[in-house]
Amino acid sequence: GAGVSQSPRYKVAKRGQDVALRCDPISGHVSLFWYQQALGQGPEFLTYFQNEAQLDKSGLPSDRFFAERPEGSVSTLKIQRTQQEDSAVYLCASSLRGIDRVSDTQYFGPGTRLTVL
């Protein structure tokens, strides 16, 4: 079956531009996560959706970052007025059940590499 897909795979933006990153999770998965991976670091949690509800957005670095999952499937991470420090790989993951199922595997997409010039 299809895994998690993300688009675009690579994005170059000029500082100040808005960008939108898309995630298509595995069909039927309840949970969807966004992570940010800066160079030399592990992925860091950004936000979590259970179906269409955004239950945790504690990792979003600033109010320039916004995520949505309006119909409980596809999700979009939007970054407004991009800054150089936003350059990173953005990973999306989905899992079958809710986040409280701590042993459930998260299935990752290949990521979007964002470079802000």
Partner 1 sequence: ILNVEQSPQSLHVQEGDSTNFTCSFPSSNFYALHWYRWETAKSPEALFVMTLNGDEKKKGRISATLNTKEGYSYLYIKGSQPEDSATYLCAPTDSWGKFQFGAGTQVVVTP
Query: Where along the sequence are the contacts to partner 1 (CB under 8 A)?
Result: 3-4, 33, 35, 40-45, 48, 56, 91, 98-111
- Nearest approach, Cβ of residue 42 and partner 1 (Å): 3
Q: 37 - beta bridge partners?
A: 89
User: Closer CB to partner 1, residue 56 or residue 68?
Assistant: 56
In whole angstroms, give the CA distance from residue 22 to residue 111: 10
In terms of DSSP H, where are the helices of the chain?
none
User: Closer CB to partner 1, residue 28 or residue 40?
Assistant: 40
User: Closer CB to partner 1, residue 40 or residue 70?
Assistant: 40
- Nearest approach, Cβ of residue 16 and partner 1 (Å): 29
66: left (phi over 0), alpha (psi -120 to 50) or beta: beta
Is 4 in contact with 91 (CB distance < 8 Å)? no
